[in-house]
Every structure is written in C-alpha cells, then in structure tokens.
C-alpha cells in the first residue's frame, strides 16, 4: 500500500487549514483514491492553479507513489 487516505488528508490539511477534505478509496486497494478539496484559498484561481496547489501540498507524491488520485477542487460557495 503506497499511501493511505489519512496521510493524503493530513498533507492537504497541513497546507489548507480551512479546507473541507473528502477522500474516498475507490477500489478498496489503498491505491486508487478520489479527493474533493474545498478551501477559500481557491477563490479566484483557475482549476489548473487549484489542482497545482493540491499537488504542491502532496509534496511530489502525485505522479509518483500516488498514481491514481482523482481530484476535484472548488472554492466555498458563499
């Protein structure tokens, strides 16, 4: 198991303390995750910028040990 859901959530929260983070283990194999991240820091950012901010928070793991993280991001609605 390359990475567990708690570790992904911890890294994201460390970077975005206000974030709502929802992680789902898609296949139950500890290797295919979906993450939904909502934080005020995304306000005014494009999707590419938002995703890059999350990838930065994961400190190089994305594309490495984390092959399959389906990511969706949003700024808070209000």
Partner 1 sequence: MSEQAVQDWIRKTVAANDVVLFMKGTKDVPQCGFSAQVGQILAHLDVAYKDVNVLEDMGIREGIKSFSQWPTIPQLYVKGEFVGGCDIIREMFQEGELQSLLEEKGIGHRSAKMTA
What residue ranges bind partner 1 (CB under 8 A)?
47-48, 51-52, 55, 60, 62-64, 68, 70-72
CB of 68 to partner 1, least distance (A): 8
Distances (CA, A) of 70 to 7, 76, 78: 16, 19, 25
Residue 10 CB, nearest approach to partner 1 (Å): 19
Pick 19 or 54: Cβ nearer partner 1: 54
10 versus 67: smaller Cβ distance to partner 1: 67
Q: To the nearest 5 percent, what fractions of the chain are helix, strand and coil?
A: 30, 30, 40
């Amino acid at each position: 198991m390359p990475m567990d859901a708690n570790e992904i959530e911890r890294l994201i929260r460390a970077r975005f303390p206000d974030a709502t983070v929802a992680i789902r283990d898609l296949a139950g194999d500890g290797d295919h995750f979906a993450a939904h991240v909502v934080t005020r820091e995304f306000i005014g950012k494009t999707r590419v910028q938002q995703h890059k901010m999350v990838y930065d928070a994961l400190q190089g793991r994305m594309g490495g040990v984390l092959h399959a993280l389906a990511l969706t991001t949003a700024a808070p609605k209000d």
